């Protein structure tokens, strides 16, 4: 552990021993000295075991005495007035500490004798280790009574990357803070001695003594958590959820969830996210997820600033992000930071590994479905790193060897890959580049071919203008395309290629003001470019009418400003404002209808043509964000937030699960952007000693212009979309309870949520109503949901993990009556979503075995035996009715209807410590 102290100029007096000590153990000496002298020792007892004191005479200076005693022991010390810190001296400071003098301080103030002497003495030791002690500022600048401002940053010692979301907790004040997205933090404390503890989910927890003399800076490096020590905590080890403004927020590192049981042995961040409170999905094997009752297209997925429009492989059974390169993910369910917008339910942000600055490192694995590998290492040591990953399935190879005709003629394959480069040009400039690709290709017998892919790249530049102001500039572009060939009928066979491109430029500024204001501001701009594609006849015999679904362009610009500050010692406030403006751009042909009447051919008036680049329609709005955090005590707080979000692009989908042929569509002349307003209140309590976080959040969310579809909507027909789309309102509300245990052998979380989500589409005319205008539960309305995610570590090598997942069945429309016609029964359906499929319940188990733990071994193995759906319960994916002859039969379809056992093998090649 290396700690760099930015300022080390401590006033030292020439303190001497009052008494004489002879022939006693060091432990006894400390004991006696702390009684008889005005001195206090800080140490760990195992270091000084067996150490003896020969003779120490009264009147000898403490510094001389300590040097004499510790000489040759491998220990070192540091004295600060009446405090002596003892630590092993093996880890050496390799650089001189940095010191940035405050500009308004005359430089001669540095030349005090005491300071120089003390500094020199300190620098000679060149080591501060396990017993960490930091001094911030110097006495010269100490302004009695005024609070000192400590600015710091926290980085990963092993890889050099800054650590986001680390918690800094000050024991004496019971307050703390969290590092921002650049790994920086700020504390305001009166001068004095403090004990702080720093926690980060993937890192070893460390505690420091902190001697605050005046304003100053510190840079802290945390070590990866090593398996040899305790490793594997399920989630944030001891993260505070009391501090900060964040609520409705989850951050989880892949490292921390690597033992969570998963289906078919594929680690999957989205499947893990689905076990968080407030997150649901349409069913096993459906892609994406539903946050607080919203549809799946209301979530924005970013991987290193690249937007990803289809996050699934193989229809949604797997997620299109290779787990090997994911460092962590964040999910904002409410109180979305002002810098984000564009989706009304959530922002899901994936951060990849930055690459090891020191050594090459590879990891990967084999599961029944895929093989995957990731490689990283330095390009230029300490400066430039790379990370690359590739994952591919081999099911296609197996399919080709099948006897069955239908299967041999089928294929299914997917792959994804990434490559990232990070360059730390200097302390004030960091440049990152990242590219991402995922691709799926499958055909069902001879009837349908599907393929789709995401391709994207981003470049970002972080720059510190000063210690007060930093900025992040980025440009990212990504596209999602799919192609469908439908060969079900030779006369009607068609092909369809769809394309959407999202190009985003951002400038995000962060300013930490002296008076404890944290200002964020910036601008961003998104250019949407869609080609909904052409429906073209496929094959010689097809007589399909070619249809062009059309091109769409749009631009979304936004500017934001937010300020987080402390108004009272216990009260923090955040005010943010985002203004977004969206324009649909030509060329376009817009069909005008009689105002207020249903949009159909009868009410059609005329077609208006817009030229290329011409603004067809503009939507704009302020999106206020506000939050407060009131600390009830040192370990509990009350938070509240309000935020508004607008969404200018949505998915054309009238199925419950997202289908591989669903198209994204921009808001246009007729279709207004959905807008959500969300209010939430939460209570948070940390039990620091037990390592338990408790939270309860209540929310209510109102969405207007939510997009629904009239019966029989067909998105590849020549019928204009505005005649098929209806817009309504949605009301979602709920309570989410969560208890996390982050330390010791048993870790994990338990969550329960009660939530409802109701949609109403009630236009003036019959054609403008769904369900006769009566509110109905949304497809993702699952009132009760319970999740348990747990890990029990038996030994350093062996652990068990278990999940328990329960939720109310999703709503469904079922037949409620029958009638006879033409000699057979027909079915009469209920009002929309009036019934539910059976409740969902699943237990998963995994046994995780590490290979032997020799630190220097070339390769490390990690075996994982997974049982998904241990009880083999037939959880219904859907319920449907069919009429067979005279019989009315109800059926339920289950996807995974028995326990699925998989064994997967993962390896790490190179420095184990790197991950």
User: Closest CB to other proteins among 681 and 888?
Assistant: 888
CB of 806 to other proteins, least distance (A): 19
User: Closest CB to other proteins among 620 and 878?
Assistant: 878
Chain residues 178-237 in contact with other proteins, contact rule CB under 8 A: none
CB of 672 to other proteins, least distance (A): 23
> Which tokens go with 833?
């979503």
Please tell me whether residue 404 binds other proteins under the rule CB under 8 A: yes
Q: Binding segment for other proteins among 498-506, 783-791, 795-803, 891-899 (CB under 8 A)?
A: 891-899
Please tell me whether residue 405 binds other proteins under the rule CB under 8 A: yes
Please tell me whether residue 657 binds other proteins under the rule CB under 8 A: yes
Please tell me whether residue 883 binds other proteins under the rule CB under 8 A: yes
CB of 331 to other proteins, least distance (A): 25
Q: Binding segment for other proteins among 189-197, 248-256, 400-408, 415-423 (CB under 8 A)?
A: 400-408
CB of 712 to other proteins, least distance (A): 6
CB of 662 to other proteins, least distance (A): 9
The alpha carbon of 166 is separated from its chain's Cα centroid by a whole number of angstroms, namely: 14
What is the C-alpha to C-alpha distance for residues 553 and 622, in angstroms, rounded to an integer? 22
Please tell me whether residue 412 binds other proteins under the rule CB under 8 A: yes
For tokens 């407030």, name the residue: 278
Chain residues 800-819 in contact with other proteins, contact rule CB under 8 A: 813-819
What is the C-alpha to C-alpha distance for residues 467 and 510, in angstroms, rounded to an integer? 10
Please tell me whether residue 880 binds other proteins under the rule CB under 8 A: yes
User: Closest CB to other proteins among 468 and 826?
Assistant: 826
Please tell me whether residue 540 binds other proteins under the rule CB under 8 A: no
Q: Which of 226, 659, 692, 737 binds other proteins (CB under 8 A)?
A: 659
Q: Give buried/exposed letters for 717-733 (b at 16+ CB in 10 A, else e).
A: eeebbbbbbbbbbbbbb
User: Closest CB to other proteins among 429 and 655?
Assistant: 655
Sign of CA dihedral 24, 30, 32, 33: positive
CB of 315 to other proteins, least distance (A): 7
Chain residues 488-517 in contact with other proteins, contact rule CB under 8 A: 488-492, 494
Write the burial class of residue 532 (CB in 10 Å: 0-12 exposed, 13-18 middle, 19+ buried): buried
Q: Which of 59, 106, 613, 885 binds other proteins (CB under 8 A)?
A: 885
Please tell me whether residue 569 binds other proteins under the rule CB under 8 A: no
CB of 275 to other proteins, least distance (A): 20
Beta carbons of 761 and 707 less than 8 angstroms apart: no
CB of 812 to other proteins, least distance (A): 9
User: Closest CB to other proteins among 468 and 881?
Assistant: 881
User: Closest CB to other proteins among 62 and 442?
Assistant: 442
Beta carbons of 904 and 265 less than 8 angstroms apart: yes
Q: Which of 13, 228, 406, 427 binds other proteins (CB under 8 A)?
A: 406
Q: Binding segment for other proteins among 222-230, 419-427, 540-548, 574-582 (CB under 8 A)?
A: 540-548
User: Closest CB to other proteins among 545 and 794?
Assistant: 545
CB of 392 to other proteins, least distance (A): 13
- Count of C-beta atoms within a 10 Å radius of residue 126: 15
- Count of C-beta atoms within a 10 Å radius of residue 702: 16
The residues near 882 (Cβ < 8 Å, ≥ 6 apart) are 888, 889, 891
Chain residues 368-397 in contact with other proteins, contact rule CB under 8 A: 368-369, 393-395
User: Closest CB to other proteins among 108 and 886?
Assistant: 886
What is the C-alpha to C-alpha distance for residues 890 and 876, in angstroms, rounded to an integer? 12
CB of 790 to other proteins, least distance (A): 24
What is the C-alpha to C-alpha distance for residues 46 and 65, in angstroms, rounded to an integer? 21
Q: Long-range contacts for 504-508 (Cβ within 8 Å, ≥24 apart)?
A: 504/305, 504/307, 504/474, 504/475, 504/476, 504/477, 505/474, 505/475, 505/476, 506/305, 506/339, 506/472, 506/473, 506/474, 506/475, 506/476, 507/471, 507/472, 507/473, 508/339, 508/471, 508/472, 508/473, 508/474
What is the C-alpha to C-alpha distance for residues 176 and 550, in angstroms, rounded to an integer? 54
CB of 863 to other proteins, least distance (A): 17
CB of 249 to other proteins, least distance (A): 32
Please tell me whether residue 879 binds other proteins under the rule CB under 8 A: yes
User: Closest CB to other proteins among 37 and 441?
Assistant: 441
| Residue 698: its H or E element | strand 692-709
What is the C-alpha to C-alpha distance for residues 431 and 244, in angstroms, rounded to an integer? 28
CB of 825 to other proteins, least distance (A): 4
Chain residues 817-846 in contact with other proteins, contact rule CB under 8 A: 817-830, 832-833, 835, 838
Q: How many CA atoms lie within 13 A of 107 on its CB side?
A: 2
Q: Binding segment for other proteins among 83-91, 538-546, 568-576, 583-591 (CB under 8 A)?
A: 538-546
Q: How far apart are the first and last CA of the chain?
A: 17
618 upstream amide cis, omega within 30 of 0 = no
Which runs of E-coded beta strand occur in 353-493? 361-366, 370-380, 384-393, 411-426, 429-444, 448-464, 469-486
What is the C-alpha to C-alpha distance for residues 497 and 480, in angstroms, rounded to an integer? 11
Chain residues 707-746 in contact with other proteins, contact rule CB under 8 A: 711-712, 717
Q: Report the candidate in 24, 42, 23, 25 with the shortest Cα–Cα distance to residue 34.
A: 42
User: Closest CB to other proteins among 521 and 715?
Assistant: 715
For residue 525, list its beta bridge partners: 505, 557
CB of 471 to other proteins, least distance (A): 44
The residues near 342 (Cβ < 8 Å, ≥ 6 apart) are 300, 526, 556, 580, 645, 646, 647, 648, 649
Strands ordered across the beta sheet of 132-136 = 132-136, 206-212, 192-199, 167-170, 175-178
CB of 318 to other proteins, least distance (A): 11
For tokens 């807008």, name the residue: 675
Chain residues 285-314 in contact with other proteins, contact rule CB under 8 A: 285-286
User: Closest CB to other proteins among 353 and 769?
Assistant: 769
CB of 654 to other proteins, least distance (A): 5
User: Closest CB to other proteins among 58 and 491?
Assistant: 491
CA angle 672, 678, 679 (to 5 degrees): 155
Q: Binding segment for other proteins among 253-261, 399-407, 632-640, 843-851 (CB under 8 A)?
A: 399-407
Please tell me whether residue 654 binds other proteins under the rule CB under 8 A: yes
CB of 845 to other proteins, least distance (A): 15
Please tell me whether residue 892 binds other proteins under the rule CB under 8 A: yes
What is the C-alpha to C-alpha distance for residues 417 and 354, in angstroms, rounded to an integer? 15
CB of 891 to other proteins, least distance (A): 5
User: Closest CB to other proteins among 423 and 888?
Assistant: 888
What is the C-alpha to C-alpha distance for residues 788 and 808, in angstroms, rounded to an integer? 15
For residue 588, list its beta bridge partners: 610
Beta carbons of 556 and 648 less than 8 angstroms apart: yes
Please tell me whether residue 901 binds other proteins under the rule CB under 8 A: yes
Alpha carbon separation from 809 to 365, 783, 804 (Å, rounded): 35, 9, 16
Please tell me whether residue 774 binds other proteins under the rule CB under 8 A: no
User: Closest CB to other proteins among 624 and 815?
Assistant: 815
What is the C-alpha to C-alpha distance for residues 713 and 754, in angstroms, rounded to an integer? 32
Chain residues 316-345 in contact with other proteins, contact rule CB under 8 A: 317
User: Closest CB to other proteins among 151 and 832?
Assistant: 832
Number of chain residues interacting with other proteins (CB under 8 A): 90
Q: Which of 25, 81, 197, 445 binds other proteins (CB under 8 A)?
A: 445
């Amino acid at each position: 552990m290396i700690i760099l102290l930015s300022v080390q100029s401590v006033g030292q007096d020439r303190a001497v021993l009052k008494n004489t000590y002879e022939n006693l153990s060091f432990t006894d000496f400390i004991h006696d000295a702390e009684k008889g002298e005005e001195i206090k020792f800080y140490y760990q007892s195992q270091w000084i075991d067996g150490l003896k004191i020969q003779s120490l005479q009264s009147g000898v200076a403490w510094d001389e005495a300590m040097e004499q005693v510790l000489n040759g022991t491998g220990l070192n010390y540091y004295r600060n007035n009446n405090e002596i810190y003892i630590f092993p001296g093996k880890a050496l400071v390799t650089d001189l500490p940095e010191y940035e003098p405050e500009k308004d301080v005359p430089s001669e103030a540095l030349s005090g004798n005491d300071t120089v002497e003390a500094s020199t003495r300190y620098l000679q030791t060149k080591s501060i280790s396990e017993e960490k002690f930091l001094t911030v500022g110097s006495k010269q600048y100490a302004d009695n009574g005024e609070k000192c401002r400590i600015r710091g940053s926290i980085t990963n010692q092993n890889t050099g990357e800054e650590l986001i979301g680390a918690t800094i907790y000050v024991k004496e004040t019971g307050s703390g803070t969290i590092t921002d997205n650049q790994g920086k933090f700020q504390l305001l404390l009166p001068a004095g001695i403090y004990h702080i503890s720093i926690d980060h989910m993937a890192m070893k927890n460390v505690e420091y003594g902190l001697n605050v003399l005046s304003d100053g800076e510190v840079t802290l490096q945390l070590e990866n958590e090593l398996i040899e020590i305790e490793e594997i905590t399920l989630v944030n080890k001891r993260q505070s959820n009391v501090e900060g403004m964040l609520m409705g927020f989850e951050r989880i590192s892949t490292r921390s969830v690597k033992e969570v049981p998963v289906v078919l042995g594929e680690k999957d961040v989205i499947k893990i996210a689905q076990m968080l409170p407030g997150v649901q999905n349409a069913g096993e094997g459906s892609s994406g997820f539903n946050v607080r009752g919203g549809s799946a297209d209301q979530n924005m997925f970013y991987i290193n600033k690249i937007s990803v429009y289809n996050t699934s492989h193989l229809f949604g059974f797997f997620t299109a992000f290779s787990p090997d390169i994911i460092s962590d993910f964040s999910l904002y369910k409410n109180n979305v930071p002002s810098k984000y917008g564009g989706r009304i339910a959530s922002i899901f942000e994936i951060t990849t590994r930055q690459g090891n600055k020191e050594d090459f490192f590879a990891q990967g694995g084999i599961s029944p479905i895929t093989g995957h590998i990731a490689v990283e290492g330095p390009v230029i040591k300490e400066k430039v790193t790379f990370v690359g990953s590739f994952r591919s399935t081999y099911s296609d190879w197996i399919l080709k060897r099948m006897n069955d005709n239908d299967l041999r003629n089928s294929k299914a394959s997917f792959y994804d890959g990434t490559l990232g480069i990070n360059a730390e040009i200097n302390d004030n400039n960091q440049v990152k580049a990242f590219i991402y690709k995922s691709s799926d290709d499958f055909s069902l017998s001879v009837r349908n071919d599907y393929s789709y892919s995401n391709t994207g790249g981003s470049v970002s530049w972080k720059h510190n203008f000063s210690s007060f102001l930093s900025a992040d500039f980025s440009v990212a572009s990504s596209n999602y395309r799919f192609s469908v060939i439908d060969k079900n009928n030779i006369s009607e066979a068609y092909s369809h290629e769809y394309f959407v491109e999202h190009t985003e430029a951002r400038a995000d500024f962060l300013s930490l003001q002296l008076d404890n204001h944290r200002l964020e501001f910036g601008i961003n701009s998104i250019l949407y470019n869609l080609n909904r594609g052409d429906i073209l006849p496929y094959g010689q015999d097809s007589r399909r009418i070619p249809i062009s679904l059309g091109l769409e362009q749009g631009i979304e610009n936004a500017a934001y400003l937010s300020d987080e500050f402390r108004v009272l010692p216990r009260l923090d406030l955040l005010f943010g404002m985002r203004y977004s403006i969206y324009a649909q751009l030509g060329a376009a042909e817009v069909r005008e209808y009689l105002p207020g009447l249903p949009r159909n051919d009868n009410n059609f008036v005329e077609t208006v043509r817009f030229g290329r680049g011409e603004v067809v329609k503009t939507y704009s709005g302020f999106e206020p964000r506000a939050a407060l955090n009131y600390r009830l005590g040192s370990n509990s707080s009350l938070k509240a937030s309000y935020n508004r979000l607008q969404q200018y692009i949505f998915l054309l989908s009238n199925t419950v699960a997202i289908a591989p042929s669903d198209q994204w569509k921009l808001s246009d002349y007729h279709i207004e952007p959905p807008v959500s307003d969300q209010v939430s209140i939460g209570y948070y309590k940390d039990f620091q000693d037990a390592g338990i976080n408790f939270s309860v959040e209540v929310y209510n969310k109102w969405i207007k212009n939510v997009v629904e579809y009239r019966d029989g909507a067909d998105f590849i027909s020549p019928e204009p979309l505005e005649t098929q789309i209806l817009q309504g309102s949605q009301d979602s509300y709920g309570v989410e309870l969560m208890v996390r245990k982050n330390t010791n052998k048993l870790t994990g979380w338990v969550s329960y949520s009660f939530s409802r989500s109701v949609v109403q589409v009630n236009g003036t005319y019959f054609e403008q109503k769904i369900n006769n205008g009566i509110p109905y539960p949304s497809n993702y309305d699952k009132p009760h949901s319970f999740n348990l995610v747990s890990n029990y570590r038996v030994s350093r090598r062996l652990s068990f993990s278990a999940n328990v997942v329960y939720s109310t069945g999703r709503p469904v429309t079922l037949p409620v009556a029958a009638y006879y016609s033409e000699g057979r029964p027909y079915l009469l359906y209920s009002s929309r979503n009036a019934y539910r499929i059976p409740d969902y319940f699943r237990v998963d188990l995994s046994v995780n075995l590490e290979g032997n733990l020799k630190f220097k071994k070339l390769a490390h193995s990690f075996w994982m035996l997974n049982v998904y759906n241990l009880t083999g319960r037939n959880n219904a994916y859907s319920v449907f009715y069919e009429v067979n002859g005279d019989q009315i039969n109800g059926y339920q379809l289950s996807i995974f209807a028995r326990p699925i056992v998989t064994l997967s093998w993962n390896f790490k090649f190179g420095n184990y410590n790197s991950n």
